[in-house]
Every structure is written in structure tokens, then in C-alpha cells.
Chains A and B, each alone.
Chain A
Amino acid sequence: MTKHLRVLGMVCPFPLIEAENAMAELAPGDELVIDFDCTQATESLPRWAVQNGHEVVAFEQIGDAQWQIRIRKGA
């Protein structure tokens, strides 16, 4: 299953909090796609993912101050 989360306009740490909440509803192997535009989250989201045993499948800047990250939930 893939869940899509849009947290555009939210400033840190709210994108991270939303991501944690969304991730809690997923099963291992599911993917969470997050669209965000908070600059500081380019650091905090991938760091949170790898530190919690998830895998960053894709991470790219899709426009001016806009990013998309795809995280696969770890076991």
C-alpha cells in the first residue's frame, strides 16, 4: 500500500509529526510519499526515517522549495 501525505505550507517540526502519525497507520513494506516545502525538513525527514529503521526509496527536489520523499516502512 502507498499512502500520500501533503504537508505543503507546514513548518518544522509539523511535517515530521504528520509523517510519524501517518507511518503509524502503515504496515511494514508499505510506502509513505511525502510532499513538503519546509527547507528544514530536507534534513529532519530523511534523518528520522533512517534512524527509525525505514528506507528512503526516493528523494528529490521537484521545484523551487518543494520536495518529495518516498519512505518504505521497516519491519
Chain B
Amino acid sequence: MVGMALSGLFCGALLGFVLQRGRFCMVSAYRDVYLTRDNRLFLATLIAIAVQSVGVYTLAALGVIQIPEIPFTYLAAVIGGFLFGIGIVLAGGCATGTWYRAGEGLVGSWIALFGYMVGSAATKFGALKPLHDVLTAPKAPHAFIHETLGLSPWLLVVLFSGVTLAAVWRHLRRPQVPVPSPKPRKRGLAHLLFEKRWHPFVTAVLVGLIAVLAWPLSEATGRLYGLGVTTPTGKLLQYAVTGDASVLDWGVFLVVGIALGSYAAAKGSGEFRWRVPDANTAMRSLIGGLIMGFGAGIAGGCTIGNGLVNTALFTWEGWVATPFIILGTWTATYWIMVRPRRRAQRVVVTGAAQSA
């Protein structure tokens, strides 16, 4: 138990630290492709997937880890992915994003986290479990894309990594405008760890490596999976209200570690402060959190479980749920950001025409 707790907390803290310093945010990555036509962060998520797929299939080939069968419950992947995508925009952060922003002292993220916990626990073990079971009942015969195609997974690993490398190369070759940052006050290692702006691609490689490390650490405790956030978050609430210590697995310590690592990173950089949202943001965070918990609960994963891990394994679940998560973020972005702005502009224009 102590070993499992330390290993989970350690891996989570590493992840939380890197996410906070790298400002790694998968909601922004998906949203900005649509909102600002900027795909730099999206490219970063592809790097994290590629690094993990190379690492995980190498470890599996060496016999260090075992890759589990991820059932492809297509109906739940589509509906859950889409709902989760809407939820993360409302909540202002994906699952890990909410955990690490909670560590930065954002009270809005604590509220979102609470909703997410309740939503996930209700879906996985509570009142919404019957609905979960109905939606996840239809299963496809194959779990893995390479299984259906009758190919070696390595072909997909090489293909995906090659495409990602080419896209990164093209992106880096474009002339970059220098982006100003505040004058450095720290030097050496302290500057590097607690002040410097990290390139999103560097952050992505680190996230990918931590995702690889998670596999052997987690499997050593009997949990056959890598990084995961949704089920552990629900289990944390389950443990809190039942006191049943048997629900505590490696993943629960991982998610707690994310908040601790992010707190250390934020505190060390002078970026920790309790910040209270206004009433609107608070309500939006709560509702977003609840939707996230339900969506990820039926889709078999969040932006990490599906968006990062199941995609790296080349499972159908990951590659179907993730596009629907992205579609969900775009839909919510349209309704709460793009449309109100267009209407405001129209009012200004007609107002000006009337006064003329």
C-alpha cells in the first residue's frame, strides 16, 4: 500500500509539475484549432501520443508490461466523447487541467473537480450506472485498429510518428515571431524549472515520457493501464464516502499527485494564489464538471485516457472518442464564445447604422 501510494504520488507529481510549468492544456489545443486557427498545441498533443506509443509498444515487446484489451463500446464513445468535449469547455479545463489548476489555487477548478468527481462516481458506481450499462452494451468485435486491419501495431506506430515528425519539422521551419516574457529574476536551474517559458513541444515530449513511465509503475501494483484520471477521480469520492480502502488503486494516488506537483510548481514560481471566480463562472464550472464526469465515465476515458493513452495504443475506442471530444469542444466554443461575439458585433453595426 505504501509503495503503491508513493509510486502513484511520484508519477502524478511529475505530471502535475510538467503540466503547470508547460501550461499544457488539451482544451486549448483542441479549441484553438477552431477559435484562433492555431494548431501549435494540437501538434504538441500528437507528439505526446507518438512518444507514448513508441515507448509502450517497446516495453510490451520487451515483456515489461502487458497491454490490456480496451473494449470498443462505440455508442458510448461517440456520445460520451461529445458530452465530455462540451463539459471541458464549460469547466475551463480538461480532467488533468482541472486537477492541476486546482493545485494553482483556482477555486473555480475545485468546483469543477467536485462536479467531475460526482459525475464520474455516479456514472461508474452510482445512480447513473444503469444508463452507463445500457450505453456501453454494444461492443465491436475488435479492440485494436491493427487487429481489424490485420497489421503489426508497429506499422501504425511508425506511420503515426513519421507523420507527426514531418508536421513538427514543417512547423519549426516556419519563421517564429519572438514572444516577449517578463524579465527573468532567477538564474540557472531555478530559472529553468520555475520561471522560463517551456516550448509546448518540449512539454509534450516530457508528458509522453511520463505517460510511458506510468505503465510499469501502475502494472507493478496490479493495475493494467497507464495514465488515467476519470475512474480514479470517481474512486476518490467513493473512498471518501464509504471508507472502503480496497477502491484505492495506483490511479487514485496519481490524480492526487497531479494536484501536489502542480502546487509545488506554482508555489515555486510565484504563481500560486487562491483565486475566486464570479458566480457565472462558478456555476459553469460545476455544470461542466458534472457533464465531464458522465461523458468520460461512459466513453471510457477523458482527454488523457482516450485522447492520450487509448490513441497511443491504437485502439478504436481512443480514435473514435477523441474526434468526438474535439467536436464537442468546437460546439461549446461556438455557443459560448463565437456566437455571442458575432451577435455583439452585429448590435454594434446596426446601432451605428441607426445613429447615422
The interface of chain A, by Cβ under 8 A from chain B, is: 8-13, 17, 21, 37, 39-40, 42-44, 46-48, 50-51, 56, 59-61, 63-67
Residues of B within 8 A of A43 (CB): 23, 179, 197
Chain B residues proximal to chain A, CB less than 8 Å: 20, 23, 25, 28, 31-32, 35-36, 92-93, 101, 104-106, 108, 177-183, 197, 266, 270-273, 275-278, 281, 337, 341, 344
* Residues in A neighbouring B276, C-beta threshold 8 A: 9
Which B residues lie within 8 Å of A59 (CB)?
180-182
Inter-chain residue pair count (beta carbon < 8 A): 78
Alpha-carbon distance between A65 and B275 when the two chains are bound, in angstroms: 9
Are A42 and B275 in contact (CB-based, < 8 A)?
no
In the assembled complex, the Cα of A67 lies from the Cα of B181 at a distance in Å of: 11
9 A-B residue pairs with CB within 8 Å: A11-B108, A21-B341, A21-B344, A39-B23, A42-B182, A43-B23, A50-B177, A65-B273, A67-B182
Excluding A13-B28, A50-B180, A64-B273, 13 further A-B contacts by CB distance (< 8 Å) are A11-B93, A11-B108, A12-B28, A17-B337, A21-B341, A39-B20, A40-B28, A42-B197, A50-B179, A51-B177, A56-B180, A65-B271, A65-B275
Nearest B residue (CB) for A67:
B182
Chain B nearest CB from A24 CB (Å) reads 9
**Max chain B Cβ within 10 angstroms of own Cβ: one of A39, A60, A65:** A39
Q: 5 closest Cβ contacts across the A-B interface?
A: A65-B273, A56-B180, A11-B92, A64-B273, A50-B177
Q: A64-B270, A65-B266 are in contact. Are A13 and B23 (CB under 8 A)?
A: no
Contact A46 B181, beta carbon cutoff 8 Å: yes
B180/A46 in contact, CB under 8 A: yes
| A-chain residues with CB within 8 Å of residue B105 when the two chains form the complex | 65
Contacts of A46 in B (CB 8 A): 179-181
Which residue in A13, A65, A66 is a CB contact (below 8 Å) of B31?
A13
Q: A61 to chain B: which residues have CB within 8 Å?
A: 182, 270
Can you name the residue of chain A whose Cβ is closest to the Cβ of B21? A39
Most buried by A among B20, B25, B182, B341: B182
